[in-house]
Structure 1
C-alpha cells in the first residue's frame, strides 16, 4: 500500500494549451525507441528519417530537437493556432514525458513543489480533480528526467 501522499485527495489539472511546458530554456524531451517508432509511424516516415530530422543524443539518451523561439526554445513539434493556442503536431503519439505533465515526481514531491509548478503552468491547480490513483500511474510512468 502506498504511504499517504500529501495529495491523497487528488490534484486539479486542465491543460490550457498555453504551451509553456513545450517552450522556454533549453531542455530535454526524452524518447525511447518505442516512442520514436510510434512517432515515426504517426508521421509516416522511417525511424531513420525520424531520428535524422527530429532527434539528437544528449547524455547518451535520445531527445527531441528544439528550435529557437521568442521565449527561448520550442519543441520541434510545437505549433500555434490562429488564436495563439499551443498545438502539438504529434499529439496522439507524443512521448510519455509529455503525456504525464504536470504529474512528474519533482513537481508533486511537496506542496511547495506543486505551488512552483502552478506558478509556471496555468492549468495546474485548476479544472477537474485528478484522482490520486491516476496521479500515481502518471508519476510512476514518467521516465527519469
Structure 2
C-alpha cells in the first residue's frame, strides 16, 4: 500500500457557474440507474415508461440518457439543465471524476472546458472532493 498522498490533498478551487458546458461537446454517455430514471421521471411528472421511451437508450446492460444531434445532453435547454434537481450522480459529481483527478495536468485540461475550475473559485476541501470521487466510482461499479 502506498503512502503517497493525492496531488489535490490541499483541495481544489471550483464553483459551478451553471454554464452548461459540461453538458455539451463530444459524444459520450450519461449513465443512469433505474433509481435515477425514476427520480427524473417523477421530477418531470412522467411515467417511468414514458420517460424511458423519450430519454433513455440501452447500451449493453446499462442505460444512458440520449443525446441531441449535436451531442448536447437531451436535458440541456438554453444552457440550463431541465432536470437539475433530479440530475444523475454522474452529473452531480462533475468535475470530480477520476479521469480529472489523475494529475494536476488532467485537472487543468478539464478547466479548459469548465469555467467553474478557477483560481478565483472557493476552495473545496480534500474530504469533499474524495466524497464526490468515491460516489462516482461507486456508481460506475454498480452499473457494471
2:65–2:73: 8 Å Cα contact kept in structure 1?
yes
SS in 1 for 2:68: strand
* Residues 56-110 of structure 1 deviation map (CA, whole Å, 9 limit, x = unaligned): 0123210001112xxx311010011xxxxx2111000000000000000110111
Which of 76, 79, 91 in structure 2 is aligned with 1:78?
76
Greater strand fraction, Structure 1 or Structure 2:
1
Match in the other structure for 2:122: 128
Aligned positions, number: 136
Instruction: Give the whole-Å Cα distance in 1 for the aligned partners of 2:52 and 2:106.
Output: 34
Instruction: Give the whole-Å Cα distance in 2 for the aligned partners of 1:59 and 1:97.
Output: 18
Q: Could you tell me the TM-score, scaled by structure 1's length?
A: 0.88
Deviation at 1:3, TM superposition (A): 5.2
Runs of 4+ in 1 over 3 A off after TM superposition: none
Instruction: Give the whole-Å Cα distance in 1 for the aligned partners of 2:100 and 2:130.
Output: 12
Cα RMSD, aligned residues only: 1.6
Structure 1 gap ranges (5+): 81-85
Q: Could you tell me the TM-score, scaled by structure 2's length?
A: 0.88
Match in the other structure for 1:41: 42
Match in the other structure for 2:63: 62
Match in the other structure for 1:114: 107
